[in-house]
C-alpha cells in the first residue's frame, strides 16, 4: 500500500510540473487560462492471484506431480535444488510419515506487485503417526506476472527447516496364516528344507528309495524323477520340492545318497502349494509399488500378496504396522517425536477349501491343461479349485535354493499361473445341451417325450452336412478294421427329448436351435436361457480374478445350430458351469461362489464369516427342472448313457452331462459336469463338480474319470478306481497299470 501511495504522489507531481503560466513576470497565475493539456495515462498491471498459485501447487502434490510443482518454483529456487532432489524430499517425507492423504486449506495473504505471503494449513492423515497438522506461510515472488514459490523444506513441515529429516521406527507384525476350513495349514511363516538331487552323489544301490521317497514327499511320479536323473547325467543339481522337518521326517531319516537339502525360513506353502492359482504367493515390494505401500505404513522390505487370496486378504494378513515418527537433525540426533502407534497382530484367513479334496483334484489334473472345481450345492462354498498344470509358490522365495526353477514356470507355454477355473474361457460343447434342453422345454414347443430321429447326418441347413458324434466313432472303428456295431458307433435312432440328453444327440439339438430360430421367431430363447443360467457374466466370486466368458445372440441359422451344442461363439469358465450345475441340484438357486470361510483375529470373534449369498434363480418351472434332472441321471445310469462306462461300480448316485468341445486345433476339450445326490444317506452336503481337460479328448473318456475321482475322494478320502484307459489318476498319461492294486474295476 505504501508503494501505491508513492506512485500516486509521483503522478500528481508530474502533472503539476507539466503546467505553464500565462505570461512572464507581473503577478500572473501559474495556471494556464487556455485549454489544459491532457493528463498522462499510466497503465498498472494487476498482480496475479497468489492464492490460486498455492492451491495449484498443492493440487499437484495430491497427484504426486512433482514436475508441475517444480515448475512453479522461483528461478532462484530452481537454481538451488534440482527436480530430482525436490521430488525426493517430498516423496521421502510423505513415505516416511505414511501419509495416506493430504488436506490443504489456503488462508490469508499479503500481496504487493512483486512479492506475496500466503498462509495455509496442511493436514497429513498418516497411518502410523495419526494426523499431523501445521499452519505454514509460503513466500512467493512475481516473475513475468506469474507467482513463483520460494522453496524451503519448512513448506513440508516447519520442523524440517535447516536440513532436518523425518525418520520412522517401524514395528512389523508377523504375516497371518492361511488355513483350510478344518484348520489345516496352507501357508504360514516357517522354517523349511529345499530338497534336490546332486546327480554325482547318487548311491545307485538306493536310487529306488531316493526316487520313491522324493516322489512321496513332492507328489511326483518316481519314474519321472528317474527320467530327470538319466537325462541330466552326473554333476547336476536337480531341484525337487520343499518340506518342513515334520513333513520330511521319513525322507531325512532314510537320507538316500544323492539327496541334498538346505534349510531356509520364509512364507511356506504346504504340500508344494495347495490351490496355488487361487491362494497366490508373496513377493517383495517392487519399485513401482513402493510409494503405495510406504504410505500404507509398510517399511518397504516386507513381502506382500501379489496374487489370489494372498493379495485379496493383504490388509488382514499383514496386520497393523506400528511406528514412531521422529524429526532427526542432519547429524542424526533426535529432535522431537511427531506421533506413534502400536502394531496389531495379523489376522488368519480360513478358506472353504478341503485340503484333501484339493490335493486329489490337483493330482488328477496335474499332467494336463485343465480344471476341476467342487462346490457345495446349497451354499456356494468352494471345496476344491484345481487348475492344471499347477506350480510351487515356494519358488517365489528368493532365499529358497530351488527358486532357480521359477524361470521354467514363468516361461512355460502351458501357462501354469493362469487360474483355469475362473479365467479359462472355453467352448462348453455338449454340456451346453442342458441349456438348450431347458430352453426347448420352457418354450412349450417341446415336451420330454417329443421324438426326433437321430441319425448320423443333419441336413436341415444347406451349407454343409453335419455329423453326429457316433459317425466319427464308426469311422474310427472302420479304420481299425472293425464294425460299427457298438452303442457308441451306431445312430441313436428315434429318441425322446430326455433320451437326447442321455445320448447327447447332436442332430436333435441342431434341430432345436434351427427350429426356434427359423420357425418360431424365438432365436434368442437359448441365448436368454444361457444368460439366466449365469453364463456371459462374472460369478462375483470376489476373492480371485475371473473372466466373463461370452454368450452372443445368433445372427443366422448357422450361429443358432452352433450355439445349440455349445460351440460357435460360446465361451464359459468352469466356475460359471459349476454354479449352474449346483443350482440344478438345489432346486434352482444360483449362489455366489466363495473361497473364504472366515477371517479370524488372534482374539475374539471372526471379523468376517462365510454366509451363502443367493444371486438369482434358474428360469425353469419345477416340473421342467425335474425332467432335466431325470435326463441327467440317465446320462450316468442308462446303459446307453454317455457317462455310463466310466461310472460303472460307483456306489453313489450322481447326475451329470458329458461334453466334447471342438477346440479349433488339436484334440477337443473334454468336459463333465454333474452333482451328487446322497445327502439323505450320507449326511454330507451334496456337491457339484466340473472337470475339463483342454485338448485332451472326449469328456466321457477323461473328464468323467476326473469327476469320479472327486466323488470317491469326497466319500472315501481318496480315489478308489485309479486306473482308466488313459492311465492312473495322479500319474502321467498312459502310465501302466500296477500289477495288483485292489481297486474297484
Q: What's the gap between Cα 407 and its chain centre?
A: 21
Q: In this predicted structure, what is the pLDDT of residue 214?
A: 94
DSSP β-ladder status, 608-609 and 596-600: antiparallel
In angstroms, the CA 503 to CA 498 distance is 9
Task: Tell which residue, 499, 464, 511, 736, has the closest CA to residue 640.
Answer: 499
pLDDT for the residue 616: 96
Q: How many CA atoms lie within 13 A of 675 on its CB side?
A: 25
Phi, psi of 95 (to 5 degrees): -65, -45
Work out the mean pLDDT of the chain and round it to a whole number.
92
Alpha-carbon span 603 to 347, nearest angstrom: 9
**237, 258 contact by CB (below 8 A):** no
Task: Tell me the DSSP string of 175-224.
Answer: PPPEE-TTS-EEEEEEEEEEEEEEGGG--GGGHHHHHHHHHHHHT--HHH
Q: What is the pLDDT of residue 664?
A: 84
pLDDT tens digits, residue range 160-200? 999 999 999 999 999 999 999 999 999 999 999 999 999 99
Judged against a pLDDT cut of 60, whether residue 582 lies above it is answered with: yes
Q: pLDDT grade, residue 38 (50/70/90)?
A: low
Could you give the CA distance from residue 449 to residue 440 in angstroms, rounded to a whole number?
A: 12
**Residue 163 contacts by C-beta under 8 Å, 6 or more apart in sequence?**
153, 329, 330
How confident is residue 738, by pLDDT bands cut at 50, 70 and 90?
low
Which residues have C-beta within 8 Å of that of residue 208, sequence separation ≥ 6? 222
CATH topology for the 429-622 domain: Beta-lactamase (3.40.710)
Residue range 684-712, pLDDT digits in tens: 999 999 999 999 999 999 999 999 999 99
Burial class of 536 by CB neighbour count within 10 A (0 to 12, 13 to 18, 19+): middle
Under CATH, which number does the domain 178-351 receive? 3.90.1310
**Per-residue pLDDT averaged across 457-483, rounded?**
94
CA torsion angle for 619, 623, 629, 635 (degrees, to 10)? Answer: -110
> Is residue 8 predicted with pLDDT exceeding 70?
no
Q: Where does the chain hold its CATH 3.10.450.100 domain(s)?
A: 50-163
CATH 3.90.1310 residue ranges for the chain: 178-351
Q: To 10 degrees, what angle do helices 506-518 and 525-532 make?
A: 110
Contact 612, 597 (CB under 8 A): no
Q: How many of the other CB atoms lie within 10 Å of CB of 685? A: 15
d(C-alpha 341, C-alpha 325), whole Å: 9
Please provide the CATH number assigned to the domain covering 50-163: 3.10.450.100
| pLDDT for 35 | 55
Q: Is the pLDDT of residue 94 over 60?
A: yes
One-character DSSP codes across 314-349: HHHHT-B-EEEEEEE-TTS-EEEEEEEE--BPPPEE
Quick check: 18 pLDDT over 90? no
pLDDT band at 36 (very low <50, low <70, confident <90, very high): low
As a whole number of Å, the CA-based R_g of the chain is 37
Contacts of 53 (CB under 8 A, 6+ apart): 72, 118, 140, 146, 147, 148, 149
Classify burial at 718, counting beta carbons within 10 Å of its beta carbon; exposed 0-12, middle 13-18, buried 19 or more: middle
- 326-356 pLDDT, tens digit per residue, is 999 999 999 999 999 999 999 999 999 999 9
| Residue 37 confidence (pLDDT) | 57
Q: Is the pLDDT reported for residue 25 higher than 50? A: no
Residue 689 pairs with which residues in a beta bridge?
374, 674
Give pLDDT, residue 735: 76
Mean pLDDT of 357-381: 96
Q: How much is the pLDDT for 375?
A: 98
Which triple of cell numbers denotes residue 63?
497427484
Q: How many residues does the chain have?
A: 745
Tell me what pLDDT residue 666 has: 87
Separation between Cα atoms, residue 385 and residue 354, nearest integer Å: 10
Q: Can you tell me the mean pLDDT for 601-615?
A: 96
- The pLDDT value recorded for residue 723 is 84
Q: Which pLDDT value is given to residue 521?
A: 87
Q: How confident is the model at residue 23, as a pLDDT?
A: 39
The grid coordinates of residue 192 equal 523349511
pLDDT in tens, 263-287: 999 999 999 999 999 999 999 999 9
- pLDDT at site 34: 53
Res 739: pLDDT: 52
| Cα 322 from Cα 316, distance rounded (Å) | 15
Q: Assess contact for 164 and 338: CB atoms under 8 A.
A: no
Amino acid at each position: 500500500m505504501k508503494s501505491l501511495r508513492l506512485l500516486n504522489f509521483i503522478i500528481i507531481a508530474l502533472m503539476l510540473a507539466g503546467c505553464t503560466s500565462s505570461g512572464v513576470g507581473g503577478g500572473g497565475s501559474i495556471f494556464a487560462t487556455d485549454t489544459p493539456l491532457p493528463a498522462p495515462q499510466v497503465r498498472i498491471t494487476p498482480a496475479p492471484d497468489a492464492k490460486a498459485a498455492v492451491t495449484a501447487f498443492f493440487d499437484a502434490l495430491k497427484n504426486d506431480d512433482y514436475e508441475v510443482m517444480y515448475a512453479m518454483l522461483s528461478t532462484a529456487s530452481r537454481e538451488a535444488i534440482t527436480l530430482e532432489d525436490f521430488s525426493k524430499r517430498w516423496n521421502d517425507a510423505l513415505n516416511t510419515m505414511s501419509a495416506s492423504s493430504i488436506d490443504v486449506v489456503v488462508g490469508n495473504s499479503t500481496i504487493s506487485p512483486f512479492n506475496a505471503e500466503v498462509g495455509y494449513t496442511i493436514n497429513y492423515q498418516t497411518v502410523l503417526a495419526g494426523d499431523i497438522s501445521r499452519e505454514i506461510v509460503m513466500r512467493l515472488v512475481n516473475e513475468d506476472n506469474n507467482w513463483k514459490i520460494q522453496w524451503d523444506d519448512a513448506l513440508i513441515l516447519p520442523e524440517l527447516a535447516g536440513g532436518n529429516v523425518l525418520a520412522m521406527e517401524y514395528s512389523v507384525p508377523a504375516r497371518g496364516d492361511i488355513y483350510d476350513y478344518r484348520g489345516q495349514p496352507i501357508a504360514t511363516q516357517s522354517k523349511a528344507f529345499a530338497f534336490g538331487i546332486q546327480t554325482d552323489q547318487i548311491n545307485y544301490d538306493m536310487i529306488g528309495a531316493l526316487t520313491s521317497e522324493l516322489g512321496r514327499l513332492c507328489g511326483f511320479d518316481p519314474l519321472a524323477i528317474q527320467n530327470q536323473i538319466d537325462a541330466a547325467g552326473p554333476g547336476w543339481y536337480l531341484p525337487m520340492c520343499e518340506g518342513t522337518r515334520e513333513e520330511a521326517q521319513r525322507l531325512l531319516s532314510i537320507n538316500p545318497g544323492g539327496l541334498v537339502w538346505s534349510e531356509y525360513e520364509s512364507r511356506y506353502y504346504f504340500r508344494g502349494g495347495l490351490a496355488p492359482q487361487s491362494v497366490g504367493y508373496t513377493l517383495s515390494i517392487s519399485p513401482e509399488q513402493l510409494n503405495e505401500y510406504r504410505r500404507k505404513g509398510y517399511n518397504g522390505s516386507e513381502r506382500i500378496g501379489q496374487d489370489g487370496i494372498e493379495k485379496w486378504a493383504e490388509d488382514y494378513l499383514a496386520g497393523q504396522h506400528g511406528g514412531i515418527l521422529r524429526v532427526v537433525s542432519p547429524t542424526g540426533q533426535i529432535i522431537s517425536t511427531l506421533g506413534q502407534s502400536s502394531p496389531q497382530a495379523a489376522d488368519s484367513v480360513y478358506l472353504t477349501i478341503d485340503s484333501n479334496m484339493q490335493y486329489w483334484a490337483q493330482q488328477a489334473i496335474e499332467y494336463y491343461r485343465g480344471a476341476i472345481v467342487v462346490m457345495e450345492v446349497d451354499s456356494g462354498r468352494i471345496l476344491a479349485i484345481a487348475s492344471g498344470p499347477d506350480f510351487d509358490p515356494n519358488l517365489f522365495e528368493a532365499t529358497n535354493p530351488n527358486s532357480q526353477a521359477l524361470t521354467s514356470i514363468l516361461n512355460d507355454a502351458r501357462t501354469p499361473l493362469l487360474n483355469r477355473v475362473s479365467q479359462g474361457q472355453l467352448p462348453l460343447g455338449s454340456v451346453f445341451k442342458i441349456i438348450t434342453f431347458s430352453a426347448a422345454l420352457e418354450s412349450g414347443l417341446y415336451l420330454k417325450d417329443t421324438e426326433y430321429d437321430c441319425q448320423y447326418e443333419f441336413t436341415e441347413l444347406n451349407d454343409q452336412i453335419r455329423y453326429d458324434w457316433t459317425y466319427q466313432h464308426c469311422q474310427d472303428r472302420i479304420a481299425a478294421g472293425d464294425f460299427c456295431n457298438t452303442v457308441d458307433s451306431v445312430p441313436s435312432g428315434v429318441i425322446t427329448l430326455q433320451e437326447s440328453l442321455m445320448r447327447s444327440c447332436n442332430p436333435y439339438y441342431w434341430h432345436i436351435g434351427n427350429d426356434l430360430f427359423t420357425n418360431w421367431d424365438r432365436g434368442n430363447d437359448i441365448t436368454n436361457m444361457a444368460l439366466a443360467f449365469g453364463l456371459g457374466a462374472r460369478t462375483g466370486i470376489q476373492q480371485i480374478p475371473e473372466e466373463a466368458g461370452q454368450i452372443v445372440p445368433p445372427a443366422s441359422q448357422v450361429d443358432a445350430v452352433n450355439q445349440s451344442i455349445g460351440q460357435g461363439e460360446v465361451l464359459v469358465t468352469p466356475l460359471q458351469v459349476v454354479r449352474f450345475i449346483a443350482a440344478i441340484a438345489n432346486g434352482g438357486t444360483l449362489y455366489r461362489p466363495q473361497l473364504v470361510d472366515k477371517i479370524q483375529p488372534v482374539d475374539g470373534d471372526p471379523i468376517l464369516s462365510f454366509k451363502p449369498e443367493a444371486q438369482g434363480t434358474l428360469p425353469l418351472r419345477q416340473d421342467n427342472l425335474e425332467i432335466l434332472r431325470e435326463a441327467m441321471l440317465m446320462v450316468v445310469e442308462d446303459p446307453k448313457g454317455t457317462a455310463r462306462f466310466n461310472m460303472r461300480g460307483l456306489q453313489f448316485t450322481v447326475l451329470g452331462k458329458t461334453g466334447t468341445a471342438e477346440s479349433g486345433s488339436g484334440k477337443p476339450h473334454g468336459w463333465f459336469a454333474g452333482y451328487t445326490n446322497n445327502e439323505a444317506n450320507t449326511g454330507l452336503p451334496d456337491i457339484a463338480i466340473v472337470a475339463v481337460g483342454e485338448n485332451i479328448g472326449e469328456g466321457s473318456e477323461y473328464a468323467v474319470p476326473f469327476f469320479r475321482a472327486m466323488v470317491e475322494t469326497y466319500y472315501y478320502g481318496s480315489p478308489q478306481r485309479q486306473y482308466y484307459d488313459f492311465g492312473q489318476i495322479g500319474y502321467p498319461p498312459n502310465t501302466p497299470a500296477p500289477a495288483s492294486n485292489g481297486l474297484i474295476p
